[in-house]
Structure 1
Amino acid sequence: MLTKLFPKAHVRFSSLPLLGSITDGFSEWSQQQGYKRSCCRILVRTLAHIDAMIRQRGRSTLSEVTREDLQACRPANSQDDRNLAGTVHALERYLDAHALLPVPQPSTPTRSGVLLADYRHFLKEVRGFSHSTVTGHLRTVSSFLDQLGYESAPSQLAELKSSDMERFITHLGKQHCRGTLQHEVAHLRGFFRFGAASGWLPPGLDAQIDTPRLYRLEQLPRALPWESVCALLAAIDRTTTMGMRDYAMLFLIATYGFRACDIRTLRLDDIRWRQGEIRVTQRKTGQPLVLPLTDAAGDALVQYLRNGRPQTPFRQVFLRLRAPLGPLGLTGVNDAFGGCVKRSGLPLPFTGIHCLRHAYALHLLRQGTPLKTIGDLLGHRTTESTCVYLRLAIEDLREVALNLPEGCSVPLVSEGQP
């Protein structure tokens, strides 16, 4: 591969004192990861600079190179030298994949780390929380311990005061809305109950935190007008690789009401072409959902799979288009939606992709689809989850208003009268 990238100068890179032995393998691996030819050339050229920087640190062989040596080559700000930062990151992943970096020695656990590890085990094994829920709880508790100074003064936790909790909640209130703040308070309450049950916190601390007041159904679902959804889909350029992928993702959401996490984890085996079905295991509920594969959805998928999807061993349907190739990240679907909105120039009031799911539900409701059917299509476990869309059917709500009985007059309130 190296000779194809540099037909005349390949010896210059293969003879590098430290990294010369891996240069050819690194260039081939970079191409397999989806880097373009021009990017592969930049990566290999930058290896010479990294080789010199590592030798300045006193390393004479590749076996002596450590992760710390690579991190020392990385610029403090990746934007100062993007080629160097990207090459260091790619080289570290290559060395990890081929077991060429020494295994890091386990560091001495900190006080906070030990406490959080115990709490993680409790949340996962006793409470049965999912990985994402455990991560959210630990993030809040870790921030609270940092602000409390638990690492340097562990007695602060045993001597916890209400003023300490209020100061942390006030700090969070400046960053989050009431809904998010309510979750953060719930995380703290759970941690305090865990401490009380373990014996290193006094009982009753969880009752001393006041939670933000949220009223049930105080907000309407954020649904786009169906005309705006159609205009957004029509504005996507389907002649490009990114356009084919984004159109297929957004079309599936607008057609089936899938969540972004369902799109991100959709696998090739979930599309049953012969049976004409598409199968999704909902990440939120864990329940399987099997729906008919419409002709339009099948056409959008076929165009992307044949002409836009990279040829990789990954089984997920929708992949990253930039190197390194792989499944979409947690925000990949939402980022794609934001890019489509920006390129379309449409004045859409909402920026989250979940508004497409709400628009789909409202569209079905206005077509006269029964509420139970909408709930089944959306994968709702209870009818109560679907009833929130009834509040958006304004025209239907106007029709159920009763006329005043004959002879009944509405008293008018005179001006100035309370």
Structure 2
Amino acid sequence: MHNNDLTIKACIEKILETMHDLGYSKGNIEAYEHSYNTFLKFCSQNNYTYFREEIALEFLKQTYGLELKCLVYDNVNTKHYRWRLRHLRVLSEYSRNQIFISKFSKFHKPVEKDDYWNKLYTLFMNHLKNNCDYADSTIRSKELTIRTTMNFLIQLDIHSLDEISPKIINKIISKFIHESSKSVTYRIRHLKQFFTFCFDNNLCRNDISSIIPHVTIPHAAYLPTSWSADEARQLLDSIDRTSSTGKRDYAILLIACRLGLRACDICRLQLEDFNWETKEIHLIQKKTQNAIVLPLLNDIGWAVIDYIKNGRPKTRDSHLFIRAIPPYNALAGSSAIENIFTFRIHNAGLRIPRGKNCGIHSLRHTLGSILLEKETPLPIISQILGHQSIKSTSTYLRLNMKGLAECPIDPDKVFNNEI
């Protein structure tokens, strides 16, 4: 039995072709090809035509002496074979979904091999993808919660929903207790949704969601981190704009500083979103799904032009911001923007207060608090930042930015043309 009509050889040919199209180096492609030739020889000797993970695990055991339960790099047993293992994971994903995966997260391990929990996992994931209008990032977040929970239950030797008691629920929640209060709230919501789904579909006798504690963190509990105008200038001035990566990072952080765009919207910007004649940026916000029009400020325009002409790799990808190394496609979501921000913050010599969760969202908070210091009405700030609720904007009332009283209201002049 196999899940697709592509043979192992056909999948490998498609992978190598995709790598070539994405601009991978000749040496990298040859390394994959050599690894796959060894695997193909093994498959030919054993009359394997279609890929299954069990075949790859058998290959690793017989060829390299690796006894693994799944195709995951564990940093101990697979240290010297990490690239061969990665090649097989790429092949596994392509065989299953016909999608070339360029990067695997070290945090995302599959559900342990347990027929009962794997069945529930598949049912719930199909429900999220087919019956719920969720963004991919939301599905990934819910998936991580449920997968982590299932693996924990397997460790506890629990193999049925009906075995879950209030004591077990408390143990599950304790797995996430080290995270922020906001994150814990989300995890509990995910668990409630999963157990409700199971009960509604007659997968368990009792409604387990009813024994999960209700936790609500007030919106006012979060005090956003922000920077001064001088610190924002220091951040931007520290970037070497002679390199292609520097041109890209400068444009990204300038957009965050001057327009307050969220990371998820910055990484999704398309070349066609920029109307150079009207000097406007048109986009649909990912979080709110609202269409917004932003001014294409002069300094942002020139920074973007410099990147497109002198720093952006040649690619068929229509996204504005592209990876600096092959494969030359779009940045990998908000996390890529966050990594750029973290690197540039440290490179600029700026100190993050101890205990503060300070990401690129802090630049958005900076813009909001500067506008507030100039007594800009909250509804106007809310419109500029694209907030759906005035509650989100009212958080800035709790920030003290007295040193920025001279900043004008117009976003085009928020930093007095000094950023």
Which residue of 350, 364, 370 maps to 2:377?
370
Shift of 1:296: 0.6
TM-score normalised per structure 2 = 0.73
Shift of 1:248: 0.4
Q: Does 1:114 align with 2:119?
A: yes
Does the 8 A contact of 1:192 with 1:205 survive in 2? yes
Which residue of 163, 166, 181 maps to 2:167?
163
Letter of the 1:391 partner, please give it: R
Shift of 1:376: 0.8
SS at match of 1:119: helix
The whole-number CA distance in structure 2 between the counterparts of 1:387 and 1:152 is 47
Structure (1 or 2) with the larger CA radius of gyration: 1
Q: Give the fraction of aligned pairs with identical amino acids, expressed as a percent.
A: 27
The whole-number CA distance in structure 2 between the counterparts of 1:128 and 1:95 is 27
Equivalences for residues 393-404 of structure 1 within 5 A:
393=400, 395=402
Number of residues of Structure 1 aligned to a counterpart in Structure 2: 363
Q: Does 1:44 align with 2:24?
A: no
TM-score normalised per structure 1 = 0.73
Does the 8 A contact of 1:148 with 1:157 survive in 2? no
Q: Does 1:382 align with 2:389?
A: yes
The whole-number CA distance in structure 1 between the counterparts of 2:224 and 2:341 is 18
- Give the equivalent residue in structure 1 for 2:108: none
- Give the equivalent residue in structure 2 for 1:284: 287
Which residue of 337, 341, 347 maps to 1:337?
341
Name the structure, 1 or 2, with higher relative contact order (CA <8 Å, separation 6+): 2
Q: Does 1:250 align with 2:241?
A: no
Q: What value does the CA root-mean-square deviation take over the aligned residues?
A: 4.0
Which residue of 206, 210, 213 maps to 1:210?
213
Which residue of 37, 44, 62 maps to 1:59?
44
Q: Does 1:239 align with 2:228?
A: no
Does the 8 A contact of 2:198 with 2:204 survive in 1? yes
Letter of the 2:119 partner, please give it: V
Structure 1 portions without partners, runs of 5+: 1-18, 100-107, 397-418
The whole-number CA distance in structure 2 between the counterparts of 1:184 and 1:385 is 21
Inter-CA distance 193–83: structure 2 relative to 1 (3 Å threshold)? closer
Equivalences for residues 14-413 of structure 1 within 5 A:
32-36=21-25, 40-41=26-27, 43-44=29-30, 47-48=33-34, 51=37, 54-55=40-41, 57=42, 59=44, 72=59, 80=80, 110-123=115-128, 128-149=133-154, 154=159, 156-173=160-177, 175-203=178-206, 205-212=208-215, 214-330=217-333, 331-349=335-353, 351-393=358-400, 395=402
Structure 2 portions without partners, runs of 5+: 1-8, 67-72, 100-112, 404-419
Shift of 1:236: 0.4
| C-alpha distance after superposition, 1:150-198 (max 9, x if no partner) | 99864x312432111112122322x423221122122222233333333
Letter of the 1:164 partner, please give it: I
Inter-CA distance 277–95: structure 2 relative to 1 (3 Å threshold)? same
